[in-house]
Each structure stands twice: as structure tokens, then as C-alpha cells.
Chains A and B, each alone.
Chain A
Amino acid sequence: MLEKIGKSLMNIKLLRKIFNWGRAWSLWSVHLETGCCGPEDMARACARFDTERFGTLPFPTLRECDLIFVTGFVTKKMAKRLKLAYEQMPEPKYVIAIGHCSISGGLWWDSYSVVQGVDEILPVDVYVPGCPPRPEAWIQGIRMLQEKIAKEGLKK
């Protein structure tokens, strides 16, 4: 019943826009570091680059998070945990793949324990290349995701 009302409400364009706006500007990110881009994750969240300006706040518990940064390569051991963490997050949720390693395996293309591209296990929304990408590139990735969210559910 409530769901039906909610769905019909979401068909109203204005409401949809408002809700999309809320989602886009409040992307809380999970604290799960998979690879070498970890310090840049910290740099982008901290003093100089400060993604809190765009509402992207690192949040301790993943139960309230919407965004997962795959920071670098994903090993086979980590892949299971990454998937588990992704599944524990409530919908709607987004994934940004950071760095060459998480896009295609990168430097570890022949390694025996690295997953060749995180899109094998998670649906990725935005890819940010670099090794590691500069914090500015992270911010651009966030902005691109925000633009993507803003268009969600709206006809072109």
C-alpha cells in the first residue's frame, strides 16, 4: 500500500526531481579500502580537497551509505567481502571504480590473486582512471555520478 503510494508519487516529475536532488547531494561513502588508492581516499575527504562540500561524507557504518569507492585493485580474497559489503548496503547504491587496477586489473593483469576489473563483481556507475587518480579526479567522478543521479527516472 505505502509502496504503491510512494511509487505513484515518484511519477510526479517535480517530486522526482526533488528526491533525485536529495540523493545526488548526499552521497555517503563506505569506508572500505581495497587497494592502493586508500590515501587518496583520505586526501579527498580531508582538509584540502574536502568532498564534504559536495555532500560526500565518509560514514562509519555501511547501513546508511549510498556510495562505495572501489579504491584500487580488488584481490580475490577481498572480492567476496566487497560483494558482501555491497549487498549489505541499502538501495539505492552506487559504485565508483577508482584507478586502473579496479577498471581492468591494470598493473596486475597477470597476477594470480587479483580480480581483473571490479565490474566482474559489482555494477559500476563511474570509472575514474589514474594510478592513483588525483583527488580532483575523484571529485569529478562524484560530480559525474551526481549528474547521472539527477537524470534518474526522468525522460530525456
Chain B
Amino acid sequence: MIPILSFSEIIELILKVLIFPGLAFPLLFAMIVIWFERKFLARIMLRIGPLHVGPLNRTGLFQPIADFLKLIQKEIIVPDNAYKILYNAAPIIASIVASMSVAFIPYAPKPDGGYWMIYYTPWSLLVILAIFTARPFIMVGAGWASNSKYCTLGAIRAALQLLAYEVPIALSLVSIVIMSRTFDLAKIVEAQSSIWFIILQPIGFIVILIAMMAELSRRPFDIPLAEQEVVFGWPTEYTGTQFALVMVSEYFDLCAVTSLITVLFLGGWSGPAIPILNDVSPILSGVFWFLLKMAILTVIIIMGRGIYPRLRIDQLLDAGWTLLIPLAIIQIIITLFTAQWWIPLLGGV
């Protein structure tokens, strides 16, 4: 049965789906992050980065737009030996899947109860975990379907990498769930209204940050995309628009991951109310804090590319199984013993 929505609810839904956190937000996020990444890394590397592109003089702010315009003009080449259906579908699926996880993340509480999110479900944490797990399969599928040696190698590496980060992520989520006693992301945020989980579970935060960087294939864990070894990994053969979709999907993923870590460890929207924003709508204030935390996490994740060399796949697997998993288990044990003191202090639930 479809519930009948009032006019204001329809407006709200359109806003959510198309503007924030729906379609426009991840795209804008991707664009800004691409620009910021190039500029920021260039500054680390004693370069200037994009400079002359775009009307805003000497910022190069329009560089991603120029890249995007160029990519959609390019000829689309499908390799002769490729398994065409999967090859053509993979970028689309990747971007859809990547943007899907944003729908389950609460960005701010509404003043009249409920949360500013596209789809509310009490199992949102599990859903997002499931979505994240789908991504390596697309990578493997696309790499296999390209039927190119470098793509296949990249796909194999992506599959291997999955083994390194998936378990630590799941384990460190366990301690969050123990503490907050719910799978509902909104409830998890509310539990942190007095103390953020990053203070209670610093080890868990580090584990999940590292594991998520591996999931995103950011340096030092960009092993499936290692350009010096496997050219560009699984998307090597993609051209033009398809490649644009692949790239954008990566940044969608970055958006989802930073949102998730913000929700889990950094207290989501919690923060002192900003008077000017609060006057317009209390939602904006929450969103502001949320975005600020996301930005900080994004900078941390991007910085990896400037200061670390890439690890080898066996080193990553070693680190995953001998370092991250024990650390996550230690965090679980600590949480189990200390939860009785902390839980009464937590808000919500």
C-alpha cells in the first residue's frame, strides 16, 4: 500500500532525493573533492595544481567540469573480446550502488521528530554494510569482463584486498553495536549526544579508518589500481563516459564512507547550534556539523596519497589479519567490559 503523501511531504521527498543527500549532493561532493584533491596534493608536492581553468581566476575550480565535459565527448571503445553486457553494465551498476548507500544515512534530525534521510529503516547499518560488500564484486566482474590482462590482475587484487578489510570493518562495527545496542544509524548518533564513540573506542576508529581506506582503494592501499604495476587495475579499458562513471562512483563511495564514519564515531550531526543557520532551520545546523566532520575525514583520507608509498598485496593482507583484526577484537573485549559504565551515560536509546 502506498501511503498518500501531503504536499509538504512531497516537496521534502523531492528535496531529499534530488538535492540533499540524494543526487546532487554526491555529485557536488565528488566535484569538490576531485578539485580539492588535485589542488591539495599539488600543494603537498610543491606544485600548484589546476590554476587557469574556469572563470574564477587562478583557482582552477572548474577543472573537474572540464574533465567531465571532455570525458563525455570521448569515443567509447569496447574491447573486442570483452563480455559486453557485463562490461557495459559495470560502470552504471557501480555508480548506482555507490550512490545508494547515501540513502540510508541520517544527516540531521528534523524538529518534528524523524530524521533527514531518504529511507528510514532500523537496520540501516546492516544495509550499508551489504551495499559496501557489493562493490568488490562489481570490480571483479568488470575486470573479468574486460578480458584484458591488466584488468584481470586488478580484479584479482581487488578480490584479495576484500579479504583484508571486510572482516576488520565488521568486527569494529560489532563494538559500536554493543555500545549502542542498535543497528539503526540514527539511534547510534543519538547515543553519542553526550560522548562521541571516537573517545570511547579510539582503537575501533583507527581500525575502521584504515579498513575503509583499503575499501576505497586509497593510497597506501590502492593496490587494485596500482598504476606502476597494473596500469590502472580493473577500469583500465574503460573510456569516456564509462570511465567518468567509474571515477564518480569512487567519489560517491568516498562520500558514503565518510558519512558512515561520521555517523558511527564522530557523533553525526551533534554539535553546538549555529545561530544563523538555526534561524533558517535547525536541520541546517546539524547538516553543517555533519559536513564539517565529513570534510575533515576526507582530508585525512586524501592525505594518504601524499605521504605514503603503496603497500604490497601480501603486506596488506598481513596487516589486515595480524594487526587490524586483533585490534578490532581487543576493542570488542574492552567494550564488553566497559560498556556497563558507559551505557548509562549515553544519550538516546
Contact = CB atoms under 8 A, between A and B. Distances in A.
Interface string B38-82: 100010011111111100000010110111111101111100000
B227 A60 contact: yes
Nearest to A61: B232
Nearest to B230: A60
Q: Nearest 3 CB-CB pairs, A to B?
A: A22-B69, A60-B227, A90-B75
B141 interface: no
Interface residues of A, number: 23
Interface stretch (B235-243, B302-310, B338-346): B235-243
Interface of A: 18-19, 21-23, 25-26, 46-47, 50, 52-55, 60-61, 63-64, 66, 88, 90-92
A63 B49 contact: no
A23 B71 CA distance: 8
A63 B77 contact: yes
A55 B66 contact: yes
Contacts, number: 94
Given A90-B239, A90-B240, A25 B74 contact: no
B281 to A, nearest CB: 35
Contacts of A46: 45, 47
Contact of A63 (B38, B46, B62, B243): B243
Given A25-B63, A52-B50, 11 more contacts: A19-B73, A25-B70, A26-B71, A50-B42, A53-B52, A54-B53, A63-B77, A63-B243, A64-B74, A64-B240, A90-B75
A91 B75 contact: yes
A22 B50 contact: no
B75 A25 contact: no
Nearest to A66: B70
Contact of B47 (A47, A55, A66): A47
Nearest to B53: A25
B329 interface: no
A29 B78 CA distance: 21
B231 interface: yes
Nearest to B39: A52
B306 to A, nearest CB: 13
Interface in B273-292: none
Contact of A21 (B47, B49, B60, B69): B69
25 contacts: A18-B69, A19-B69, A25-B53, A25-B63, A26-B53, A26-B66, A46-B47, A50-B47, A50-B48, A50-B49, A52-B47, A52-B49, A53-B60, A54-B51, A54-B52, A55-B50, A60-B227, A61-B227, A63-B239, A64-B74, A64-B240, A66-B74, A90-B77, A90-B239, A91-B74
A88 B80 CA distance: 12
A3 B60 CA distance: 31
